[in-house]
A and B are shown apart, each in its own frame.
Chain A
Amino acid sequence: MMNKYVSGLYLTLIMIGLLFLAACGTADDATADSNAEGQAEENAEKPVLRVGTEATFAPFEFLEKGEIVGFDADLLDAVLTEAGYEYEYENVGWDPMMASLQNKDMDFGAAAITINDDRKQTYDFSVPYFKSTHMIVFNEGAGFTSAKDLEGIKIGVQNGTTGESAAEKVVGEKNSNILKYDSTAVAFLALKNGDVDAVVTDNVVADEYVEKNPDANVEAITDDETFSAEYYGFMFPKGSELVAEVDAALTTVIENGTYAKIYKEWFGAEPNTDVLLEAAE
């Protein structure tokens, strides 16, 4: 008798469990369906793209009253409008962006990302859209004149960026004098604070910082012999099918003058688009 009761109890429990699972299943299906329908109404076949960035890199991407603005933001809008995609531009941070792209959670990254061979092993890139070099920013009076002066001083960089590689090329990899920060903005804070003696970062960002912070009393120098020129591109997960479409749209935007307009708006000068188109080939 007892056994019967017990097995009856088990059966009931299993039934309740199954019912619960079934209920969950249908609930999930329902939301998935409604999402798909919602997207289908907005856009016949193209999905809404998820584009990641790290918005502390003025003037390329930074937050203004909570909105991501900057050169990259405007260029991204022009390119994806040209390609006919809707998109969401999300400020997820540098390392999470890298991870999301590796896991294919995001469609691509637009964050002044330098194209280099290391990264090409794990990711795919669009054609280049910007030419850049590195600069050393330091407090006035330090009197640095070339990259050689970086030896023996504390250098601030943003973790995982090419500014870090540029500094490492001078003083060696994993040198404990290189302090790696979460963002370039915090690296500049550390310079002001005296935690580091110099910050190595992309020239446009350095120029912007020097110009916008006259009270900070900083200088910036470049060293063409040590720091080679580099190109920025949109970064995709390896094997992404989007690359060709975005490439075509980006080339159109560069050729039809939209690019020059955006460039002039943010940097106040005419771009050398020939260099970009040449580098694309």
Chain B
Amino acid sequence: MAEYFDINIVIEYMPYFLKGALLTIGVSIVGILFGCILGMFIGMGKMIKKWYFNFPFVWYINFFRGTPLIVQLFLFHFAVLPAMFDSVSATTSLMVTLSLNSAAYVAEIFRAGIKSLDRGQAEAARSLGMSKIQVMRYVVLPQAFKRMIPPLGNEFIVLLKDSALGAMIAAPELFYWGRAAVGEYYRVWEAYIMVALFYLVLTLSLTYLLNYLERRLDTE
């Protein structure tokens, strides 16, 4: 344990922690948004019965779920994206990697949500003369969405915390500034405790937001 807690380090770095927290929030929102959109398509793609149609989606999920996020981040930032574009900032690479990674998890959550509904519901709706798309839109999706909220919430929280890996490629998010403060003063308690507190506030806010959403959509 440190002899004392040097509050001056916290005060001095507070503007940078705030700036970093803003970037963490921004990167996470982008990751959640694109992850959800992309994940929905990939989830649907994986549900196609014919193997030659679903195998690209299956392998997308295999790759992004089966390799460490930090490896994906380095692969995309130093190899894949530079090969495709002229110059890509570390922050952009972080957003792209987080989006692609979370899409794989969202796809599985989406698929599980739809599969969890009793087949009888879709069959009943079909027998009433609804088209396949109408069944999806009015019967299956509204119920599946409700069931997907808790696992999606977990995924969002994981994504927010994983954005800290951006520090490894010098994307100036929250943890990057924490490491910078430790690098300047060679004192570990102050900065890391502050950074942990910031992350806790962010994830707790997200948790309560999702709880609220869950209550609003509750029909029972």
Closest B residue to A173 using CB positions:
B184
Contact (Cβ within 8 A) A99 B188: yes
A43 contacts partner chain B, Cβ-Cβ < 8 Å? no
Minimum CB distance partner of B12 in chain A: A174
Whether B169 and A186, one on each chain, are in contact in the complex, defined by CB atoms closer than 8 angstroms, is yes
- Evaluate contact between B188 and A164: CB separation under 8 angstroms: no
Report how far A119 CA is from B184 CA in the complex, Å: 10
A164 vs B183: C-alpha distance when bound (angstroms): 9
Q: Does A160 belong to the interface (CB within 8 Å)? A: yes
Interface-side segment among A54-62, A144-152, A176-184: A176-184
User: Do the beta carbons of A180 and B179 come within 8 Å of each other?
Assistant: yes
Say whether A189 contacts B78, CB under 8 Å. yes
Query: Given that A95-B179, A193-B77, A195-B90 are contacting pairs, would A160 and B168 also be in contact in the complex, using a CB cutoff of 8 Å?
Result: no
CA distance A189 to B73 in the complex (A): 14
Judge whether B168 and A102 touch: CB under 8 Å. Answer: no
Contact of B78 (CB < 8 Å), options: A95, A159, A179, A193: A193
Q: Tell me which residues from 169 to 222 in chain A have a Cβ below 8 Å from any Cβ of chain B.
A: 173-174, 176, 179-182, 186, 189-190, 193-195
CA distance A11 to B183 in the complex (A): 53
Residues of chain A at interface, number, CB under 8 A:
26
Query: Is A274's CB within 8 Å of the partner chain B?
Result: no
- With a cutoff of 8 Å between Cβ atoms, the chain A residues found around residue B179 in the complex are 95, 159-160, 180
Interface code B162-188, partner A: CB below 8 Å = 1, 0 otherwise?
Answer: 000001111010001001101111111
Interface 1/0s, chain B 56-94, versus A by CB < 8 A?
000000000000000000000110001000110110000
Interface size on B, residues (CB 8 A): 24
Q: Cβ of A181 and Cβ of B186 under 8 Å apart? A: no
A118 at the interface (CB under 8 A from B): yes
Q: How far does the alpha carbon of A181 sit from the alpha carbon of B171 in the complex, in Å?
A: 9
Query: What's the Cα separation between A102 and B6 when bound, in Å?
Result: 15
Q: Does A240 contact B (CB under 8 A)?
A: no
CB neighbours of A122 from chain B (8 A): 186-187
A166 contacts partner chain B, Cβ-Cβ < 8 Å: no
Q: Is the CB of B187 within 8 A of A195?
A: no
Within 8 A of A (CB), among B127-183: 167-170, 172, 176, 179-180, 182-183
Residues 38-61 of A, flagged 1 when their CB comes within 8 A of B and 0 if not, give 000000000000000000000000
Question: Which residue of chain A has the shortest Cβ distance to B179 in the bound complex?
Answer: A159
Residues of chain A lying within 8 A (CB to CB) of residue B16 = 174
Given contacts A159-B179, A189-B78, A193-B78, contact A102 B170 (CB under 8 A): no
In whole angstroms, how far apart are the Cα atoms of A123 and B89 in the complex?
36
Across the interface, name the chain A residue whose C-beta is closest to B77: A193
Known: A98-B188, A193-B77, A194-B87. A160 touches B169 (CB 8 A): no
A160 and B186 within 8 A (CB): yes
Tell me which residues across on chain A come within 8 A of B188, comparing CB atoms.
Answer: 95, 98-99, 102
**Are B183 and A95 in contact, CB atoms less than 8 angstroms apart?**
yes
The residue from B169, B185, B186 contacting A190, defined by CB atoms under 8 A apart: B169
What residues on A are CB-neighbors of B167 within 8 Å? 182
- Do residues B186 and A180 form an inter-chain contact, with CB atoms below 8 A? no
Residues of B within 8 A of A190 (CB): 90, 169-170
> Does A182 lie within 8 Å of B183, measured CB to CB?
no
